Amino acid sequence: MRDDAGAAAILLDWYDRNARALPWRVSPAERRAGIRPDPYRVWLSEVMLQQTTVAAVKDYFHRFTTLWPDIAALAAAPDDAVMAEWAGLGYYARARNLLKCARAVVSDHAGRFPDTRDALQKLPGIGPYTSAAIAAIAFDRAETVVDGNVERVMARLHAVETPLPAAKPELTAHAAALTPAGRPGDYAQAVMDLGATICTPRSPACGICPWSVPCASRRLGIAGELPRKSPKPAKPVRLGVVYVGRRADGAWLLETREPSGLLGGMLGWPGSDWGEAPVAKPPAPGDWQEIGAEVRHTFTHFHLRLAVRAAQLPDGSEPARGRFVPRDAFRPAALPTVMRKAYDLAASHLGGD
C-alpha cells in the first residue's frame, strides 16, 4: 500500500467510531470539545501497561490516581506505600523508576512533563516507546509509536515475513510512513486499538477491519501466520528457599529486599539466593518445617522453584534478618506475586488469616 495519508485517514475515521473507553484516555469526542490528555495519566498508564494487559491495569490505575491524583502527590509518596500498591503488577523496576521519574519531573521541570520525545527520554524509566507514546498522545507530536500491537498490524498490513525481533526496523519504518502530522496521538491509539480488538494475535477479524482492502497478508491468506517469531531459547530453572515465620501474637517475619535487583524494594519473606544450589539459613531460631509444597513462578528470563519452610516463632524472638510486622499492619496483597504464593501455601500451616 502506498497511499499512507489515505490509510491513516481511514483508520482515524474508524477510531472516531470505535475507540475503546479507557480510564486514562481522552475520547475523540472529548478531544473535539477541546479537552486535552493529562500527561501524568498518559505517562502512568503507559508505564503500567508495559508487558501487562489493559484488564490487569485498570484497577491499579484507579487506585494510583485516587491515592496520588497528580505528579506532585506521587513524588511525595513514601516508597513503601507505592511499592505496596504496585504489588502484583510485576516488573518491579517500573515502580522504582516511577517514583524516580515523578521526583525528577517535580524537582527538575517544575512539575510539568517535557513535551518532546528527546526530553522525555532523559527522565528515569522512560525509553523510546514510552517517550514516543507520551509525546504523541499528550502533546500531539508526530512521533512513531510502536508496541507489540503495532508490530503485528504492520507485519500483516505489509506482509512482512521476516521473523521478530529481526523485523523490528522494517516494521518501525512502515509505522513511521503511516504516522500523520495531524492527530498523531489519536492515530497511535487507533493502531493499538486495531491490534487489540480486530487484528488480534489469533483469528484476526479481517472481515470487519478498516484496513482489509490494502492488507497484503489478507490477500495472500497468511494474516493469521504473521508476525513470525524466531524461536526462543528454553528458560533456565533457578531454585531457592523462603522462610515464612509467625509469632504467637500474629506478627509475621518479613524483610524489605535490597533496592536494586529483582523485586528490589519490595516486601517479602527472608530466604536464600536463587540459583542452582541455594544456601539457606533461617532468619530466626525456630522449628522450621518443610510444608510439603513449593512455589513455582516464572519471570521474564527464568523459572523459579521455591521451597517453603514455616515456623511458629516464640514471643521475644530476635531475628537475624527482617522485622516482625504486626498482624493488623500486614496486608498479603502488598506482597509481590511470588511472595504471596509462598504466603498462601504457608498460611494454613501457621494459622494465617
Cα 110 to its chain centre, rounded Å, is: 27
Residue 187 is placed in which grid cell? 492515530
* β 252-256/323-325 pair status: antiparallel
Nearest Cα neighbor of 78 from 65, 90, 95, 66 is 95
Question: Of 46, 85, 151, 255, which one is the catalytic site residue?
Answer: 46
Distance CA(270)–CA(178), nearest Å, equals 51
Cβ contact 49:295 at 8 Å: no
Residue 261, burial from CB neighbour count under 10 angstroms (0-12, 13-18, 19+): exposed
Distance CA(51)–CA(320), nearest Å, equals 37
Distance CA(353)–CA(341), nearest Å, equals 14
> Is 143 assigned a catalytic role?
no
Distance CA(103)–CA(74), nearest Å, equals 8
Q: Alpha helix (H) ranges present in the chain? A: 4-18, 28-32, 39-49, 54-67, 71-75, 79-86, 93-108, 117-120, 128-139, 148-157, 168-178, 184-197, 216-220, 337-350
Integer-rounded Cα radius of gyration of the chain: 24
- Strand-pair partners of 309: 243, 290
> Which residues have a catalytic role annotated?
46
